[in-house]
Amino acid sequence: MTIHAFIDALPKVELHVHLVGSASVPTVLELSRRHPGSRVPTTPEELRAFYVFRDFADFARVYQAVNALVREPEDVATLVTGLARDLAGQNGRYVEVTVTPYAHHVVGMPMRAVTEALDIAARRSLEEYGVRIGYIFDIPGEYGAEAARITLDHALREPPRALVAFGLAGIEQERVRHRDAFRDAFRAATAAGLHSVPHAGEMTGPETVWEVVDHLGAERIGHGISCLDDPRLVAHLRERQIPLDVCPTSNVCTGQVAHIKEHPLPRLLREGLFVTINSDDPPMFATTLTEEYRVAADVFGLDRPALATLARNAVTASYLDPGTRRELLAEIDALV
């Protein structure tokens, strides 16, 4: 079995993928043609050029443009089942999908309708593709206190059945102005039983990671790669074994890392940190979850045991029920 065949055969769990960012090129083109007048191109060639980002701010503008195409609850369900279909083709078994309720609120979708679409999509994903779905509701940080309030309200009043966690994403540099609102929202969400999985340390330094660890109760961190700039933080993350959802290709495409060969994944592993591999916004970055494992093998030289450890880490860091988690771990062990 070649290393690529081994990767194909690995049972996989994806912990860091955004719903809108998971939309396949055909789906985005269909939506852009359905809603003429948007900033999103209507041909494959133009869309590929649209998905070349100068920096994170440029990526955020493109993401918002695509997000504006999702205007009906059935669009939400289509995105979830499309993601499940794509993962099933990669031997994906479970995915925790980051959903941004505020984005659906501002285009006028009722809270209950969004939740019903998410519930229907989770059921269809399991029945049709064998992929289990968990949802993370995240606050788009640049929209501040209003976004925090609306996201929390949806999570507490009308949660989908598969809601497992509460997150914070968006432009990290904007967070300090709304810090108290985010802290209050996370206190309420975790008190209600949701897990804390904020983004941090993607486009800012270790101070953002410390903020989510100390004040948002982070149980898992999206990206977190700038932790390496602070030895004390590295030691803290290693001691607590707080998982980092690492997305190598994403970091290159958004300009956080200059070249894939310069990505800190190998150093994160050498430091003994708890790392999982993820795709973030796969069609936008011309990648897949499988491709991220191939990057780990081809670029960084990870062998089969190391790749299997990354796959196990994703299962262990997930919020799957214990029985399914044990079954997946046993499958990985059997393959190795």
Alpha carbon separation from 153 to 100, 159, 175 (Å, rounded) = 12, 9, 20
Helix (H, G, I), strand (E, B) or coil at 277: strand
What tokens appear for 134 in the block?
């968990």
Contact at 8 Å (CB) between 39 and 336? no
Alpha carbon separation from 62 to 66, 82, 93, 154, 254 (Å, rounded) = 6, 20, 29, 25, 11
Contact at 8 Å (CB) between 194 and 155? yes
d(CA 250, CA 283): 11
d(CA 283, CA 55): 17
Q: Exactly one of 172, 202, 219, 292 is catalytic; which is it?
A: 202
Helix (H, G, I), strand (E, B) or coil at 87: helix
d(CA 216, CA 266): 27
d(CA 156, CA 122): 19
Residue 20 phi/psi, 5-degree rounding, is -65, -40
Q: Is 202 a catalytic residue?
A: yes
Residues annotated as catalytic (active site), given as ranges: 202
